Amino acid sequence: MTTPVVRCRVAPSPSGFLHIGTAKAALYNWLFARSHGGTFILRLEDTDAERTDEQYVHAMCEGFKWLGIEWDEGPEFGDEPEKGEYGPYRQSQRRDLYSREAARLVAEGKAYRCYCTKEELDAQRELAAKEKRPPRYSGKCRNLTEEEIAVKGDAPFAIRFRVPEGETLIDDIIQGPVRIKNKEYDDFIIVKSNGDAIFHLAVVVDDGLMKITHVIRGDDHLTNAGRHVMLFNALGYPLPQFAHHPLIHDEQGRKYSKRLHGANVLDWREDGYLPETMINYISLLGWTSEEEGKEFYTLEELKQLFTLKRLTKSPARFDRKKLDWLNGQHIRMLTVEGLCDRVLPLLRNAGFAVDEKPREWLIEMAAICQEKIPTLNQIVPYTDFFFVTPEGYDEKGERKFFRKENSLKALETALQCMNGLSEWTVESLKASYEQAAQEKELKIGALVNGTRLALTGKTVGPGLYELAKLLGREESIGRMQVAIEYVKTSGEESS
């Protein structure tokens, strides 16, 4: 017997943005499919017309594309047409399939029409609440005869699944064998009285007809899995392998709320994080490799190393510090040209005239920031002084580097170093400063930090010699003269 080709899917409901938990489920399915040469499918569960909005469809697909999670089969999105042989890939376009399969279950005696009204069902729930027992369907319509059904005429009806006797086994790759007594379920609705399929039927029909081999999803669906296994068996579809992984918790150990910043995957794009970082970090929220202690992974490494057997049962707690560290590591891994291309749009959006600068200059600017910036967005405060002359100086920096006893001497010495250079290079600047510090008996830090504040208005940023070289001799000397005059004038005013 040949092993079926791996076919995995993610099936989000487009009723909001791409949640980080949905992204995790998609990533695990995608990595598993890629590691086995299989197929990854994007399917949209959009049967709930009141909650579905096309802007959410767009946002969700955009989130997947930003992360680099490309689907092999899926719906139309933007300029990308629907692709795949098992479509359509939106539940709203598959209603006829659900109706057909529900009718088959009824014909085979595995489901039945339920004519109970909303008022009757509400009364049953109220009675159960009063008697302090779980609400269960009474089974009133379970054994209606053909004559009794005929009497109903055109009365509206839902379709309920006839839960069989015995037990249901969910053989879960992560959770292990889970056995459920079928008597714990009442006969659940699979088609509403308006003809719309309930989630349980729709997802099983879709998985069955799309030949899904592995259902990898959050463990909040483990309670649904019993119903789904029963439906798979009743419909005669091959049973996929299940793998229910833990949900993501926030830094306080609670379920990651949709209200939290970062729940929307695209929040991280806006905050300047790389998609490579997010793929790396999300993969670690429930998965570990066999290489103990390793946390930095490239996409290619994840494709090769990912296995379902290395997924954990315990919920993963979000760790912002680890995410920041990983983002820094991935920024360092970019080529300088690649980093330049990623930060230029941010600098343009900040209003800086980057396109007036030569490409070589821009690449060098990115290079001197690559070891410093924790996020792409930090490129703006790390480089704004290249495009706009500082209008003032950091207050704490002033007290520390402009108001000390030797501050003016340090600034004037730095200016002398600049004026005395025959070549304006990083090496010559560094050598001149080090020599002057020794000769003038000044700390090198006083020279460097005072100069940085004078040139940039800040106390942190790229390496001083590198930024001065890029800023240019004339501009650097001009800013030094302004700073020296400022120190002299403000000193006289305070005396």
> Which domains does the chain possess?
7-80+248-317 (3.40.50.620), 94-245 (3.40.50.620), 334-386 (1.10.8), 395-494 (1.10.10.350)
Mean pLDDT of 437-457: 96
What is the predicted pLDDT for the residue at 291?
81
| Mean pLDDT, rounded, for 173-187 | 94
Residue 113 phi/psi, 5° resolution? Answer: -75, 135
Mean of pLDDT values over 316-327: 94
What is the reported pTM?
0.90
- pLDDT tens for 131-153 read 888 888 888 999 999 999 899 99
> Looking at the predicted structure, is the pLDDT value of residue 450 above 80?
yes
Contacts of 296 (CB under 8 A, 6+ apart): 280, 326, 329, 330
The set of residues, in sequence order, having a beta carbon less than 8 Å from that of 83 and lying 6+ positions away, is: 72, 73, 74
In this prediction, residue 187 has a pLDDT band, given cuts at 50, 70 and 90, of: very high
Per-residue confidence (pLDDT) for residue 492, from 0 to 100: 56
- Residue 24 appears among annotated catalytic residues: no
pLDDT band at 445 (very low <50, low <70, confident <90, very high): very high
pLDDT higher at 253 or 32: 32
Please tell me the predicted confidence (pLDDT) of residue 240: 97
Q: For the sheet containing 158-161, what is the strand order?
A: 111-114, 158-161, 189-191
Question: Using an 8 Å Cβ cutoff, are 95 and 195 in contact?
Answer: yes
* Rounded mean pLDDT, 104-133: 89
How many angstroms separate the CA atoms of 245 and 24, rounded?
10
Select which of 181, 183, 255, 258 is catalytic.
Answer: 258
pLDDT class of 125 with cuts at 50, 70, 90: confident
Confidence of residue 122 (pLDDT cuts 50, 70, 90): confident
